Structure 1
């Protein structure tokens, strides 16, 4: 019962274990007590994983030996012993896999504790238009402006990784890489979900209020060292950029589309003139999406019942309504309304985020 996915995790964690083993004996680490304690705690957790991995590898070797005897030995008695041994080994492997899964979950959880563990990361923010046609595209642009103004307030930087313009104005889709000194994902994770707007569109001659919606997805940024993606698992396509760039976009296929074959996750990037740079940015987004996908899958498999959807990142959940006629923004997860829509759309969203943080803490 060879679990390829588990082995890959074991290998990554084993490498990290050996790396930390070398680090914690270095004088500059030992002299820094805070850093030393953090690394020592991680070392002890990883040591448990590595010990189990050693047992797992021994069982896999024994399984190979039993299979060899079953296939090549002509002695019926030896085959009978190998057959019984193989069944016992398979039971042991299954038991180790279950224990490993539980240990990995307890040490590196994907529930509430892991959400907090991810809080220190930078973030990938994806905005997409939903129901409402051109009005939804315009609202994507409005929410983008809101976030950019918020980033300026808190001193964060952002880069546009991918942008697809709307039919008339606004954006059908835009993806940002957001970085800062601390808790970028820890603040922005609350923005994941469906954002609904109620207002009179500029194109509405009757003065009727329309309802449109967009989707926001916030993913923790995952570095290359934390998640290795095999190039053989990626299909790469290139095409001509549809964005800005003057004559350049008509001459070279600098835009990149990556498809992760095992998960069918697709990422596009076309903001850079260099195909190489677009590839790097697309890989960055791809790692974050695969990581988030894995987290959500594990939570589903374990049937974890959440008390709230405050920061699960569920993209199908309606989280917030922006009501322009009443000048009100309401977050439906915590039933909180702020009657200063103008200020909110100008980037003053920290108050709402603080309420959401408090709600998550009290779960």
Structure 2
């Protein structure tokens, strides 16, 4: 049984926090005081759990010694044999709790999320599947009590979606959805296919942590803001005002457009929200790229060229290629029941971070659910 990493750095940090809280001027800054208090409580719990784990390890050693002692009291030996499984279970539970506490949290995990879904290769079929993915994520969000706010959308002629951008607000939204970034592929017989052939289409999904103005400083001189008439099917108010807003950020080359609202100011505000989130994601990706160089795989990297998942309708199969997860419950998945997928990705990410923390490699999820079925 490998040992836990040294608790000394965390104990030293706890001492520093305790010293800060003991300062008479500590509560002069209520906001900072609240942050320090939360960190102190979390670090204190980690240290307590570490010592509880060490105590349980000692109790296991004592129980095993009693069991091996041939000349010992038979009643004590029987009692030790009864207690040993519970002690071992508690040791393992405490070990995972401690390791999770030692892994630094992602700063963006608690943020709201801007999600972008775009039809890729496959024409009408890609846009139809983009609409289905939008519905899937909407259902998942509703099930968790999150709120959806449309930012921008472009419909296709056959009822699909060429592109949709929307904001999801709620608790730990980015933490749950950040691994959905990438190319998602669908394999099925389109309704327009007369010969029953299976077609392959793709949709790209981008998941961006919502950025505040304090996160990303944007110089107004770096922006080209253009206003034009909103396009649409017609009707009252659609083409009568110059309400659509298009913003070009010159340093990054990013272009954002929003035309969902009739108000030019509201469209500009939404477009700026999307722009800030994209710039924050670029900044985070640069940091993650440095870290990823030391990892064997890049779960959740969100690379647009990375095919992360396949939805195979003829075989009722979803395969996440990053972790070798295969589920045969596609109808339920498309209804937004993606908890098992999300939890499996989070677990795999935890194991990678754990390997980096402890130097212990884990087998991960590959092969646990039928291998990495690749649908070439």
TM-score by length of 2: 0.67
Question: 1:38 deviation in Å?
Answer: 4.8
Structure 1 residue aligned with 2:121: 131
Separation of aligned partners in 1, 2:219 and 2:234 = 32
Contact 1:123 1:220 in 2 (8 A): yes
Question: 1:314 deviation in Å?
Answer: 1.3
Distance 1:253 1:27, change over 3 A: closer
Question: 1:37 deviation in Å?
Answer: 2.9
Structure 2 residue aligned with 1:348: 337
Separation of aligned partners in 2, 1:234 and 1:35 = 35
Structure 1 residue aligned with 2:281: 292
Q: Structure 1 residue 215 and structure 2 residue 217: aligned?
A: no
Q: How does 1:298-337 map to 2 (within 5 A)?
A: 298-300=287-289, 304-337=293-326
CA RMSD of superposed structures (Å): 2.3
Separation of aligned partners in 1, 2:141 and 2:301 = 22
TM-score by length of 1: 0.69
Map Cα deviations across residues 150-199 of structure 1 (whole Å, 9 max, x no partner). 1111000011100011133201100010100x210011111100010000
Map Cα deviations across residues 236-292 of structure 1 (whole Å, 9 max, x no partner). 011121247732121111011101011110111111110001101100110111111
Separation of aligned partners in 2, 1:211 and 1:27 = 57
Distance 1:282 1:207, change over 3 A: same
Q: How does 1:212-291 map to 2 (within 5 A)?
A: 212-243=201-232, 246-291=235-280
Contact 1:243 1:270 in 2 (8 A): no
Aligned to 1:246, the other structure's residue is in SS state coil
Distance 1:306 1:244, change over 3 A: farther
Map Cα deviations across residues 112-146 of structure 1 (whole Å, 9 max, x no partner). 957x2211111010000001000000000000110
Structure 2 residue aligned with 1:144: 134
Aligned to 2:216, the other structure's residue is in SS state coil
Question: 1:28 deviation in Å?
Answer: 5.0
Structure 2 residue aligned with 1:66: none
Q: Judge which range, 312-321 or 194-203, deviates more.
A: 312-321
Q: How does 1:49-198 map to 2 (within 5 A)?
A: 113=104, 116-180=106-170, 182-198=171-187
Aligned to 2:226, the other structure's residue is in SS state strand
Contact 1:164 1:243 in 2 (8 A): no
Name structure 2 gaps, 5 residues minimum. Answer: 1-24, 42-102, 353-376
Distance 1:269 1:36, change over 3 A: same
Q: Judge which range, 323-332 or 307-316, deviates more.
A: 307-316
Name structure 1 gaps, 5 residues minimum. Answer: 1-22, 42-111
Separation of aligned partners in 2, 1:156 and 1:244 = 30
Runs of 4+ deviating beyond 6 Å: none
Aligned residues: 267
Q: How does 1:15-34 map to 2 (within 5 A)?
A: 25-26=27-28, 28=30, 34=34
Question: 1:304 deviation in Å?
Answer: 2.4
Q: Structure 1 residue 359 and structure 2 residue 361: aligned?
A: no
Separation of aligned partners in 1, 2:40 and 2:220 = 33
Q: Structure 1 residue 37 and structure 2 residue 37: aligned?
A: yes
Map Cα deviations across residues 210-260 of structure 1 (whole Å, 9 max, x no partner). 000000000111111222211111100111212477321211110111010
Distance 1:257 1:306, change over 3 A: farther
Contact 2:153 2:165 in 1 (8 A): yes
